[in-house]
C-alpha cells in the first residue's frame, strides 16, 4: 500500500516515526510537509501545493491547521488516492462543519474520508466522532491501516498465582505509539493496579490529544477520552484476575 503522510509539526512527526518503525514493510510511505500558515479562506489551493506529489492509495493527514483540509481534495486528485484519513485530536484542526464539507468534496470524486476523533478511536470497521457515537465506513485501504494502528488492542498474560502481568502483546497500537509504550511498562504490575497505572502511563508518554474541554464529549477532553479507551482495553483483559471485595453489612444497634 502506498501512503502519503501530511505533517506540519511534532504531532505528525511522532505518528510518522511510529508507522515507519512498526508498520508492514510492504507499505511505501512518503511525506509532505504542509505550509506553516494559511489565510482564513484559501481561494487558490495551487498556491499552497507543490508542483507534484507521489502516487498514493491512502492519505493520512496529521496536519495541525484546518487550512490543510481545504487542500485535501486537490491532493487526492494529484496522488490518485481513494481514501483519506484526517486525525482530529484537536477540534480546531478540523471543526465539525468543515469535516462535513470535506467529506462531501471528497465523495464527489469518489474518495472515502474518515475523521476519527480522537485518532485512537479508529477500528477496521468504524471510528468515533463523539461520546458513544461511532461512524461505520467501508474502504480497504483504511481498513488495512486500522489493522495495525488505531484503537488500542492488547493481549495481556497474567500469572494466576501472583496476579501480576507477566507478558503483553500489542495487537493494534495507537498511531502515536502510546499503546506499545504502556504495554511495555505494565509488565510486573499487579492486576489490581493495572488500570490506574495504564492511565498514568498514557499521560506520561505523553498523549498529544487536546486538553481543551470538548462539547462532543460532555465537556471532557480528548486526552481523557483517549486515556479511557486504553484503560478500558486493559480492564477487559485483566477482568478474570481482579479481586472482588464484598462488604457484609453489620447488625444495626438498637
Q: How far apart are CA 6 and CA 131, in angstroms?
A: 27
Query: What CATH number should be reported for the domain holding residue 64?
Result: 3.40.50
Mean pLDDT on 129-137: 96
Residue 161 lies in a domain: yes
Residue 137 and residue 87 share a domain: yes
202-235 pLDDT, tens digit per residue, is: 999 988 899 999 999 999 999 999 999 999 999 9
- Tell me the residue range of the domain where 21 lies: 2-146
pLDDT of 245 higher than 90: no
Q: In whole angstroms, give the CA distance from residue 225 to residue 127.
A: 13
Give the CA angle between residues 108, 109, 110 to the nearest 5°: 95
- Helices (H), ranges, the chain: 10-22, 67-79, 96-108, 140-146, 178-186, 191-204, 222-238
Question: Would residue 191 count as lying in a domain?
Answer: yes
The residue-averaged pLDDT of 92-107 equals 95
Dihedral sign, Cα of residue 92, residue 96, residue 98, residue 104: positive
Instruction: Provide the whole-model pTM.
Output: 0.91
Co-location of 114 and 93 in the same domain = yes
The grid coordinates of residue 151 equal 484503537
| β-pair type (153-159, 133-136) | unpaired
| pLDDT of 253 above 90 | no
Whether 139 and 174 map to the same domain: the answer is: no
Q: Please report, for residues 14, 107, 127, the alpha-carbon distance to residue 102 in angstroms, rounded to integers and kept in the order given.
A: 25, 8, 17
Res 135: pLDDT: 97
The answer to whether position 173 is within a domain reads: yes
The pLDDT score that the predictor gives to residue 250 is 59
- Tell me the pLDDT tens digit for each residue of 186-201: 999 999 999 999 999 9
C-beta neighbour count of 190 within 10 angstroms:
16
The CA distance from 220 to 25, in Å, is: 38
Confidence of residue 247 (pLDDT cuts 50, 70, 90): low
| 114 lies in the same domain as 9 | yes
pLDDT-based confidence at residue 178 (cuts at 50, 70, 90): very high
Residues 136 and 21 in one domain: yes
- Quick one: which of 157, 106, 135 has its CA closest to 216? 135
Asked whether residue 247 is assigned to any structural domain, the reply reads no
Residue where a domain stops, chosen among 77, 112, 146: 146
The verdict on residue 249 lying in a domain is: no
pLDDT value of position 143: 98
Paired strand residues for 86: 61
Q: Read off the pLDDT of residues 45-54 as tens digits, 9 standing for 90 and up.
A: 777 899 999 9
Question: Does residue 178 lie in a domain region?
Answer: yes
Q: What is the predicted pLDDT for the residue at 248?
A: 59
Integer Cα distance of 219 and 212 in angstroms: 9
In this structure, what DSSP letter does residue 150 have? S
Confidence of residue 105 (pLDDT cuts 50, 70, 90): very high
Q: Is 253 helix (H, G, I), strand (E, B) or coil?
A: coil
Question: Do 21 and 81 belong to one domain?
Answer: yes
Average pLDDT of span 88-96: 94
Q: How many domains does the chain have?
A: 2
In the predicted model, is pLDDT for residue 39 greater than 80? no
Task: Flag whether 110 is in a domain.
Answer: yes
- Would the pLDDT of 142 be above 90? yes
Does the pLDDT at position 144 exceed 90? yes
Is it the case that residue 249 has pLDDT exceeding 70? no
Q: Is residue 253 in some structural domain?
A: no
- How many CB atoms are located within 10 Å of the residue 167 CB? 12
Check whether residue 33 and residue 60 sit in a common domain: yes
Task: Say whether both 59 and 182 belong to one domain.
Answer: no
**Where a domain ends, among 146, 161, 192?**
146
Amino acid at each position: 500500500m502506498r501512503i502519503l503522510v501530511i505533517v506540519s509539526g511534532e504531532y505528525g512527526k511522532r505518528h510518522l516515526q511510529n508507522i515507519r518503525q512498526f508498520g508492514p514493510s510492504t507499505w511505501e510511505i512518503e511525506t509532505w510537509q504542509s505550509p506553516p500558515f494559511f489565510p482564513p479562506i484559501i481561494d487558490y489551493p495551487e498556491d499552497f501545493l507543490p508542483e507534484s506529489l507521489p502516487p498514493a492509495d491512502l492519505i493520512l493527514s496529521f496536519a495541525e491547521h484546518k487550512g490543510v483540509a481545504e487542500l485535501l481534495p486537490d491532493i487526492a486528485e494529484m496522488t490518485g488516492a481513494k481514501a483519506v484519513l484526517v486525525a482530529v485530536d484537536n477540534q480546531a484542526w478540523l471543526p465539525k462543519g468543515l469535516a462535513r464539507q470535506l467529506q462531501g468534496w471528497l465523495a464527489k470524486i469518489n474518495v472515502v474520508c474518515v475523521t476519527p476523533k480522537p485518532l485512537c478511536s479508529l477500528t477496521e470497521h468504524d471510528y468515533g466522532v463523539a461520546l458513544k457515537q461511532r461512524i461505520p465506513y467501508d474502504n480497504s485501504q483504511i481498513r488495512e491501516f486500522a489493522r495495525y494502528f488505531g484503537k488500542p488492542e492488547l493481549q495481556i498474560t497474567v500469572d494466576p498465582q501472583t496476579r501480576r502481568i507477566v507478558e503483553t502483546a500489542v495487537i493494534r497500537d495507537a498511531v502515536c505509539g502510546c499503546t506499545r509504550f504502556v504495554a511495555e511498562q505494565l509488565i510486573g504490575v499487579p492486576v489490581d493496579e493495572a488500570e490506574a497505572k495504564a492511565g498514568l502511563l498514557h499521560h506520561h508518554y505523553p498523549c498529544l490529544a487536546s486538553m481543551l474541554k470538548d462539547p462532543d464529549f460532555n465537556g471532557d477532553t480528548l486526552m481523557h477520552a483517549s486515556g479511557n479507551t486504553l484503560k478500558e482495553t486493559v480492564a477487559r483483559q485483566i477482568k478474570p484476575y481482579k479481586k472482588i471485595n464484598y462488604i457484609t453489612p453489620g447488625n444495626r444497634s438498637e
